[in-house]
Amino acid sequence: MIDFLSEELRLMKEHHLYRSLYLIDGPSEPKTIINGREMLLFSSNNYLGLASHPRVKAAAIAAVKRWGTGSGGSRLTTGNFNLHRQLEKRIARFKGTEDAIIFNTGYMANLGVISALVGREDLVISDQLNHASIVDGCRLSRATVRIYRHNDMLDLARILSDRTSFRRCLIVTDGVFSMDGDIAPLPQLFELAQEHQAILMVDDAHATGVLGDRGAGTVEYFGLEKRGIIQMGTLSKALGSEGGYVAGTSNLIDFLRNRARSFIYSTALSPPVIASAMAALEVLENEPHLKEQLKANVRLFYQGLKDLGFEVLPTQSAIIPLMVGDSCKALALSTALAEMGVFVPAIRPPTVPEGTSRLRITLMATHTRDHIQFALDAFQKAGKKLGLL
C-alpha cells in the first residue's frame, strides 16, 4: 500500500532535493556544535543573539520556577496566565497598535488570521514569494487566491481590478522576504489597498527586531503606524523565543480570539517561552546597539562576498541570499563549507523556485569580525574548488 514512499524518497535523492536533519548540540550562537563538530553558524534566525542573552535566559528560568513548564490548557479554557496577556499588551505597545494576540507559532498565526478574515465569498491576493505559512493560510481560508508577481505593484493593481466581484479582499505580503531578504513596498501596497477597499496584512517575521528605529518592523520602517495595517510576526527569530503574534485594532484581536481556530484549539505557550519573549522585548529597547551591530555585520559580509565575485542579492535585512541556481551545486557548496567548519544549508525547491537554489546566509549581532573573515575565506576556497568563482 505505501510502496510509493520508497520511490518518492528515491526520486528526491536523485534530484538532490532530499532533506535530512542536522543535529545541533549547543545554543544557536555563532560557535556551536553541529553533527558532533564545532562549527561557525551562519544560518540562524537568532539575529540579535537574544536566545542566549543572560537576561532572557534568566527570565525563562524564573518563569519555570514560579509557573512551571506547561500552561495546561488552551487560552480560552485554563491556559490563559497573566503572563500571556502581559505579553500581548507589551507587543501592542511595541507595534503601536491597540492590542495583540499571540499564537503558538508564526505558522499558526498566519493560518489563523487569514482563515478567520476571509472565506468562500472573498478574494485574497498574495505575493509570489510569500512564506509557506501564508500560502497554507490562503488555501485553508477557501477564498479565491490570486498571486501577484514578486513586489510588482502593476500586477497587483491588475488583479485588484476584479476586486468588486468579491465581498472582502485581503492583500498579504511578507515584510522582509524570508529567502530573498528584500523588503515589500508597503507604502504602495497601502495605497492600493486603500483605493480598492482591501485589508492589508504584513508578515514581519524577519523584520521584527531588525527594521525600524526601535526594531518594530516594516510598518515602523516606512512610518505607516496608525494606518490599520495588520501586523503579524514571530517571537521565534530576532526575539529568540517561540510563538507568533498579530497586532492591530481591539476589534480585530477580539474577533481573532473568537474565530482563529489555530488560537482556539491549541494549548497556550508555556510560561518560560512567554517570559523570555517579554525579556527579549526589554533587551531590544535597552540595547539598541545590538541592532546596529547586526547591520554592520551584514554590510561587512555582503561586501566581502561581492568582492570575492559571488552573486549575492542586495539586502536591507539580516538575510544574504547567495545565488547558485542548480540545486546540486548549491548542495556541493554547502558541503564544502561544512567541511571547513562553516554551516550554511542549501535552500532548494520547493522552498525556492526551480533554478534559484541558493545559500541563505544570515548574520547575527554576536558574530565577530574574526568569524566573518573565517567564513569569507572558506567561501573563497569552496567557490574556487567548485568553479563558482
Return the active site residues. Answer: 178, 206, 237
Find the binder of ligand PMP among 244, 272, 304, 321 (CB under 6 A).
244
Pick 263 or 310: Cβ nearer ligand PMP: 263
CB of 233 to ligand PMP, least distance (A): 8
The yes or no reply on residue 105 touching ligand PMP (CB under 6 A) is yes
Residue 102 to residue 260: CA distance in whole angstroms: 11
User: Is the separation of the CB atoms in 227 and 261 below 8 Å?
Assistant: no
Of 156 and 184, the one with the shorter C-beta distance to ligand PMP is: 184
Q: Measure CA of the first residue to CA of the last residue in the chain; give whole Å.
A: 48
Please, what is the minimum distance in Å from the beta carbon of residue 174 to ligand PMP? 5
Q: Which region, judged by CB under 6 A, interacts with ligand PMP, from 70-78, 101-109, 114-122, 192-200?
A: 101-109
Angle at CA of residue 331, ends 380 and 361, nearest 5° = 60
Closest CA to 234 of 128, 91, 122, 62: 91
| Residues 66, 69, 73, 79, Cα dihedral to 10° | 30
CB of residue 103 to ligand PMP, shortest distance in Å: 9
Tell whether residue 107 is a contact of ligand PMP (CB under 6 A).
yes
In eight-state DSSP terms, residue 286 is H
Give me the least distance between CB of 28 and ligand PMP, in Å please. Answer: 13
Nearer to ligand PMP among residue 45 and residue 97 (C-beta):
45
CB closer to ligand PMP, 222 vs 310: 222
Long-range contacts of 87-95 (CB under 8 A, 24+ apart): 87/274, 87/277, 87/278, 88/245, 88/253, 90/278, 90/281, 91/245, 91/247, 91/281, 92/247, 94/214, 94/216, 94/281, 95/216, 95/217, 95/219, 95/231, 95/233, 95/247
Site string for ligand PMP, 192-211 (x = CB under 6 A): -----------x-xx-----
- Are the C-beta atoms of 204 and 176 separated by less than 8 Å? yes
Residue 113 or 205 with smaller CB distance to ligand PMP? 205
Task: Compute the Cα dihedral for 330, 333, 338, 339 and give only its sign.
Answer: positive
Residue 211 near residue 316 (C-beta atoms within 8 A): yes
In the numeric block, which cell numbers belong to residue 70?
A: 506547561
> Taking CB under 6 A as the rule, does residue 174 contact ligand PMP?
yes
Buried b (16+ CB within 10 A) or exposed e, 346-361: bbbeebbeeebbbbbb
Q: Is 234 in the site for ligand PMP (CB under 6 A)?
A: yes
Q: From CA 111, how far away is CA 314, in angstroms rounded?
A: 30
If one asks whether residue 358 binds ligand PMP (CB under 6 A), the answer comes out as no
122 binds ligand PMP (CB under 6 A): no
- For the beta carbon of residue 169, count every other beta carbon within 10 angstroms: 25
Choice between 43 and 382, CB closer to ligand PMP = 43
Among 84, 131, 358, 371, binds ligand PMP (CB under 6 A): 131
DSSP β-bridge partners for residue 124: 145, 170
Minimum distance from residue 258 beta carbon to ligand PMP (Å): 22
178 interacts with ligand PMP by CB under 6 A:
yes
C-beta nearest to ligand PMP: residue: 106
Q: How far is the CB of 117 from ligand PMP (least distance, A)?
A: 16
Give least dist CB 235 to ligand PMP, A: 7
Chain residues in the site for ligand PMP (CB under 6 A):
105-107, 110, 131, 133, 174, 178, 203, 205-206, 234, 236, 244
